[in-house]
Structure 1
Amino acid sequence: MTDKTTKTKDTDEQTTHFGFEEVKWQDKQTKVAEVFHSVASKYDIMNDVMSLGIHRLWKRFTISKANIHLGARVLDIAGGTGDLSYQFTQKVGEDGLVILSDINASMLNVGKEKLTNRGCVGNIQYVQANAEALPFGDNYFDCISISFGLRNVTDKSKALHSMYQVLKPGGKLLILEFSKPLLPLLSQVYDQYSFKILPILGKLIAQDEDSYRYLAESIRKHPDQEALKSMMLEAGFDKAQYHNLTGGIVALHIGYKY
């Protein structure tokens, strides 16, 4: 599956998808913001419940592939409640820097409070920013991560280009995201869980059924493994590869800038 934009014949107005709904291009960002304003306070507990805690293993694998060194500069885009950012602060040391970035103020505030309570000071900063236009200098970061956030970006290609610009030569981009299950039976079970059980969990725990229905739909509209790899190469990355996790339900894509 590829990310698709269309133009209506009558108005020549760009449209894109918000889950399975077709919306005006300029409206998607607002709609996504509403979702994450709504779920921010319950985001962590819902991640544990809906993944049975497996998201922690996916993130641990991502950290292991980052190979962060002392003194490194790391940008965690759509970092939300800061799971990856916290681990990065432990890797970069006192002389390094981690920037936890999110377009959504509610998610960023939850992340800042959580990491401050965990003792993260000195080597971390918090920046509200749009992944499509990152407010940093060229060739600045040793590593960039985006975890379960790219599928919510309106213009993914533009965001990938922006990430490439602020990444240092020799740096790497890590994209942890839901993807396409490899086995038909697993795909069927996953669909049943996503569209029948997940919205119910959202209603019971986060008091928000619609946002978690959007979550399931947004995953299905996201580019699959090979399509995302091609998008990374088109954005300028000299090499891209991916690792399927949990049967392809999630994939970690890694892009290199030489």
Structure 2
Amino acid sequence: MIGVYIVLKRMSYIGHGLSHAVLGGAVVSFVLSINFLVGATVWGFFCAQLIALTAKKRKIAADAAIGVITTASFALGIVLISRYKSFTRDFEAALFGNILGVSAGDLMAIVVVTLMTVAVLFGAYKYFLFATFDGEVAQFYGVPTGWVETLFSLVLAATIVVSMQVLGVLLIAGATVIPPVSARMLSDRFRTVLLLSTGLGAACGFVGIYLSFFIDVSSGAAVVLVEAGVFALVIAYSNLRPRRVSSLLRNVHPGSVGQPSSGELD
């Protein structure tokens, strides 16, 4: 669900970058004996805010800020892993995902973060929608874009952290971005894209985890490959109706992903 906002804001790389940055926070939490979920989420949130602050400097592009900050955080995690070799196996699962390593506590954390994400995105739906398409105009109309971005960063960081055990930090970005992109190719309406993305992500996640358990492969890789397969089918389907797709792109009507309608903002 949150991936839709990432894709529409043209910030797909931040999901990839933050997933790497969170590894550093996870290792630091382990070394300092801090709760993993809390420590890694705070670390990811801090990195996201630092990226946003750095990107506001006109001389530094957003992608450059993401590259510097997240790579440094990931490198810190690798250094600590190589220094404290006692937990190398645990973080191998964090890198690539391991469904067999998911505990009852992990499941509870996933449920809590999922409910929190749904509550935040739907509770502040109008604000997120407006800020996603045009932050400057939203700010002009009184939308607290600063708070919206802060809340978005917190939800994104928490989502990445709870996904680590299942998907692994190296594959979270793919699992976050592919369903929204597939949904966007099937519809030009924001709400439809949001629902399609959620449904595709849930279905691909279930199938991928099921396959990984029975054929004994990385759960994260299995989920991403299933999503990639669906994406390939969507591309094939879109190519079978090129005239329809071209018409949609030329005639983006009010209420489309390109421009939120008054009905969606009301």
TM-score > 0.5, shorter chain as reference: no
Larger gyration radius, structure 1 or structure 2: 2
TM-score (ref. length: structure 1): 0.23
Q: Which has the larger strand fraction?
A: 1
TM-score (ref. length: structure 2): 0.22
